Chains A and B, each alone.
Chain A
């Protein structure tokens, strides 16, 4: 089974702090994704990556950056956390290109509160 592991289930941070959310997958997947989930808005894509050291902006990248130094690990960085970044963050991975290989597998999520 594919396993996508997010380092923290719950995080509480203060406004202005730099925050790192870590995600690791164990199935040698090419693609990795970061979403935020808010009530009534579904999941919105923040950033994604097709390969090591490669990143693409999603629909809501402002205030976030990412890092993918190794294939299995994809980090989401909040450079200066703000209260409007309080949310549930989900990491996902998928095998590769082609529609059939694009089934995404999700981590359990990190619920971040910024005070």
Chain B
């Protein structure tokens, strides 16, 4: 069975700093996708970034990038030049074959002014 683990329940950084959120996963498949979702306070959960397992190149979306280490089954999210609007719960998730997403426990990130 797939599992996804986020070991940092909470993190806090100053505005403009860089922050990295950790995620590890377990799967027996070769073909799968990994995602980071963001859930701002009292707002809708949105997709931040996704990574296809067969691609070696790390995905990047503006200030958000991932460090995908397939052998280590690690998928961390780096937020550069953090902004107050980045304050949110962040969930790591994986999907393989079937349509079901498996989520980690979440990391509550606070960006301080």
Interface, chain A (partner B; CB < 8 A): 31, 33, 40-45, 48, 50, 58, 90, 94, 97, 99, 102-109
Contacts and interface: CB of A to CB of B under 8 A. Distances in A.
A38 to B, nearest CB: 10
Contact of B105 (A41, A103, A104, A107): A41
Per DSSP, chain B at the interface is: loop
Interface residues of B, number: 26
A108 B43 contact: yes
A99 B100 contact: no
A42 B44 contact: no
A43 B95 contact: no
B103 A48 contact: no
Contacts of A31: 99
B9 A99 contact: no
